[in-house]
Structure formats: C-alpha cells, structure tokens
C-alpha cells in the first residue's frame, strides 16, 4: 500500500511555534532548516519513547506551495485511495488525540490558539517510514538547556512587542542579560539597606542615628 492511500490527521502549528516548543523541550534546532525540523523532533520522540505522535513538515493551509509548519500526526487511516476518489474517512478528535494536544500545550508550550486540527491525504510520503517516530541519523537531538515557562512567555511577548522575527536563541541571550541586570540591581539595593544607619527612638520619641 502506497502512502497516497493513507489519510492522516493531527495538529498543525507554524515554524515559529515549533522552534519555541523545541527550545522548551531542550531539542537543538541549530543549523536545521525549517523543512528538516521533523528530523530532530522525531529523534527526541523516539528516544523519549513518546510514540503517540509523528511530526512532519507540510504546507498549510491547502493551496500553499511552500512548507509553513509542522503537522503532529495522531491518526492514520489506511485502506482509502485518493486516486479512486474514495469517500473521505470520518476522522474526528478522540481522547487520545486531545491527550497529544494537551502535551503540546502543557509540556511543549505551544499556545492552544496556535494549533489547528488538520485532516489530509498523505500525498507527500509523510508516513513512508511508518506511523511512529524512529531514530534517524540526519540531525540531533542535541540536548540544550530546556527553556522555562517564564522564558517562553517572555519570548512571545518580545516577538509581539519588539521584534516579530526574533529567534529563540538570540532572545535567550537578551533575556539572560536582563536577568543578570535585575540580579545586580537587587543585590545593590540589598547592600544599600544593610549599609544604611539604624534609627532608634529615644524615650521622648525623638529619632537617634546609631553608627
């Protein structure tokens, strides 16, 4: 059976959200182009035994020519043939699909509003290696420092308010510098408090400076 006889469904998100999710999970995307992001993702999923989702790069919405994001596939329907114009299989979200969605939102940090339930024919051999992620030798995963929820939220705020094209790696340098400055300012204020002269009240209620 060719991959064109497979109907797939899952959750689509754009490349920006995908890269942010990879940073959150500690998956390096260094030197990986958008159209190859599924390789380090599949490596991480295989090595962490999370086999209920298969990522693949696709063009979405329909009619787009260039790839626009990643489809995290959770359903695979065989026995239908697009060329024969068989009726489309009845595919809808199941509890196990929604469990993957919750993982994407809560663990990978993808905003729920950035996820779209997509159903489509596999016309691009997305499932040629099967329906579960397998380790490949193309890229990664190189584990980096996992991004915290606070860093991820700050990243989205920075993209919204300052630079829509900012990369996560560049932002984290800015974030670390800002945190360093905050810590230095906090330490300075604490030292000033410690060095400030103590003030006591005498019996008459007048203040006295204690050296």
Residue 138 lies in a domain: yes
Structure tokens given for 160: 């919204």
Structural domain ending residue among the three candidates 147, 181, 205: 147
Q: Is residue 107 part of a domain?
A: yes
Return the DSSP state at 85.
T
Provide the 10 A C-beta neighbour count for residue 120. 20
Which residues lie closer than 8 Å to 30 by C-beta, 6 or more apart?
142, 169
The reply to whether 19 and 104 lie within a common domain is yes
Say how many domains are in the chain: 2
Per-residue pLDDT band at 18 (split at 50, 70, 90): very high
Same domain, 132 and 162: no
pLDDT digits (tens, 9 = 90+) for 45-64: 998 999 999 999 999 988 77
Q: For residues 19 and 105, state if they share a domain.
A: yes
- Cβ atoms of 105 and 112 within 8 Å: the answer is yes
- Residue 52 has a pLDDT of 94
Q: Tell whether 165 and 134 lie within a shared domain.
A: no
Same domain? 162 vs 143: no
Q: Is residue 29 domain-shared with residue 123, that is, in the same domain?
A: yes
Q: Does 68 lie in the same domain as 10?
A: yes
Of 38, 22, 29, residue with least CA distance to 124: 38
CA distances (Å), origin 78, targets 3, 36, 130: 9, 26, 12
Q: Which has the closest alpha carbon to 137: 3, 36, 16, 20?
A: 36
Query: Residue 76 has what DSSP assignment?
Result: E
Regarding whether 168 and 117 lie in a shared domain, the answer is: no
* Residue 188: inside a domain: yes
Domain limits for position 31: 3-147
Residue 44 lies in a domain: yes
Give the least confident one: 95-104, 124-133, 142-151. Answer: 142-151
Residue 106 lies in a domain: yes
Do 23 and 121 sit in the same domain of this protein? Answer: yes
Q: Is the pTM of this model over 0.85?
A: no
Residue 7 shares a structural domain with residue 40: yes
Is 153 part of any domain? no
């Amino acid at each position: 059976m060719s991959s064109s006889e497979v109907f797939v469904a899952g959750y689509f998100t754009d490349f920006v959200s995908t890269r942010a999710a990879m940073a959150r999970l500690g998956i390096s995307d260094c030197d990986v182009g958008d159209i190859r992001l599924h390789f380090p993702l599949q490596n991480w999923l295989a090595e962490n035994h999370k086999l209920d989702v298969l990522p693949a790069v696709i063009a979405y919405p329909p009619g787009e020519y260039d790839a626009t994001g990643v489809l995290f596939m959770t359903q695979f329907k065989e026995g239908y043939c697009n060329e024969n114009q068989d009726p489309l299989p009845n595919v809808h979200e199941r509890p196990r699909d929604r469990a993957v969605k919750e993982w994407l939102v809560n663990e990978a940090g993808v905003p729920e509003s950035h996820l779209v339930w997509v159903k489509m024919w596999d016309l691009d051999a997305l499932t040629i290696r099967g329906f579960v992620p397998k380790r490949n030798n193309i890229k990664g995963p190189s584990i980096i420092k996992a991004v915290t929820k606070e860093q991820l939220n700050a990243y989205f705020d920075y993209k919204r308010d300052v630079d829509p094209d900012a990369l996560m790696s560049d932002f984290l340098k800015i974030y670390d510098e800002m945190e360093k400055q905050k810590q230095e300012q906090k330490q300075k204020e604490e030292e000033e408090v410690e060095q400030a002269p103590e003030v006591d009240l005498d019996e008459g209620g007048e203040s006295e400076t204690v050296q």
